[in-house]
Amino acid sequence: MKKFGEFLLVLAVVMGVCTGGAEAAAIKLRTSTNLAETGTIGRGLTKFVALVNEKSGGRIEATANYGAELGNQREQVEMCRGGSLEMVVAAPGTGPGTWVPQLMMFEFPYLFRDNEHYRRVLKGLQSEVSALVQPYGFVAAAGQSQGSRHMLTVKPVEKLADLRGLKMRGPNAIYISMFSYLGAAGTTMDWNEIYTAMQTKVIDGMEASPSMINSMKFQDNAKNLTITNHIIACVYYFFNEKWLNGLPEDLKKIVLDCTNEAVAYQAEIDDLDQKAALDTMIKDGVVLHELPDADAWVKACEPMLDEYRTRGAEWNAFIDRMLAIQ
């Protein structure tokens, strides 16, 4: 009887070790964005991570990195493709757009009526984007608007002619092309390099939504904001396809359901934060400039669409699908 009792004790210890090992073997979901934790995309990611951890009951251990903690956006995208991240938050054009350049059309000047129209486009094209990036190892989900973008400059820009010759930062080739049509000189650099570039006058200005500008305090180094509404930008959650499709079906559903909740949350806080950020920037001494010649800016960019349609059938097909969503 004593030996049987000892056997039960050993069995209980072994079972305890096994149980502890199972708990320790949570599936890792490492996520990252090059944007600030305090911005609405960063806060949306924080919400997503918390939702996954809660709803998976500990079966998935989700974590997030922000800003340049893991490198610039392109490096983070490569990490996700290679499997050292399970998900990256990236702009389509400057993320997987490396391999699918037509995704830059999400950030095209004067193409979308307003933010609600843009959000319908993001949702309506999600499966299309996933199909385009699947050969490169990604699944797209959770398209999120970053709001209408305006131009922050060191010197006042009160009309189109004032932009001529200014060196302006843009994230990808479409922005550089737009600046050329508007008479400025565009240059690309990573988001996390802008603050120093403005401070040292390497660039004369940059552009983004008020929320994005304020999240990085770029107004420390430039005090003029021209209300241009030239582009609305976005991000998607790009999952490593092998990781996402390798999940048990119930966990995959939880992850994708959490992306939808994160989208709704980010949309709500972004609408509020755009106004609050603008108010903060004004308090910080930023002067707003409304354009008397806004139509001239739109007209100057009109030939761009014809130019981009000449880039091939893939571009035309994607442009047509995008324009069909109203």
pLDDT of 84 higher than 60: yes
> How far is Cα 1 from Cα 3, in angstroms, rounded to an integer?
5
> How far is Cα 260 from Cα 311, in angstroms, rounded to an integer?
33
280: nearest Cα among 198, 219, 209: 219
Q: Which tokens go with 302?
A: 């009109």
Residue 24: band (very low, low, confident or very high) from pLDDT cuts 50, 70, 90: low
Place of tokens 């983070």: 76
Domain residue ranges in the chain: 27-324
Domain spanning 27-324 has what CATH number? Answer: 3.40.190.170
Spatial contact of 211 and 274, defined as CB atoms under 8 Å apart = yes
pLDDT of 236 higher than 80: yes
pLDDT in tens, 85-101: 999 999 998 889 889 99
Listing from the earlier edge strand, what are the strands of the sheet with 87-90?
60-65, 27-33, 87-90, 232-240, 138-148
Query: Dihedral sign, CA of 164, 170, 175, 177?
Result: positive
User: Which residues are CB-contacts of 269 (< 8 A; sequence separation ≥ 6)?
Assistant: 40, 43, 44
User: Which residues are CB-contacts of 137 (< 8 A; sequence separation ≥ 6)?
Assistant: 81, 240, 241, 242
pLDDT in tens, 197-226: 999 999 999 999 999 999 899 999 999 999
At residue 256, the pLDDT reads 98
pLDDT in tens, 13-22: 444 444 444 4
Q: What is the mean pLDDT of residues 66-94?
A: 95
> How far is Cα 325 from Cα 123, in angstroms, rounded to an integer?
10
Spatial contact of 321 and 108, defined as CB atoms under 8 Å apart = no
pLDDT of 252 higher than 90: yes
pLDDT of 250 higher than 60: yes
User: Which residues are CB-contacts of 288 (< 8 A; sequence separation ≥ 6)?
Assistant: 225, 226, 227, 278, 282
Please state, rounded to an integer, the average pLDDT across all residues of the chain.
Answer: 92
Q: What is the mean pLDDT of residues 130-135?
A: 97
At residue 9, the pLDDT reads 43
Residue 172: band (very low, low, confident or very high) from pLDDT cuts 50, 70, 90: confident
At residue 286, the pLDDT reads 98
Q: What is the mean pLDDT of residues 261-274?
A: 96
Residue 5: band (very low, low, confident or very high) from pLDDT cuts 50, 70, 90: very low
Radius of gyration of the chain (CA): 23
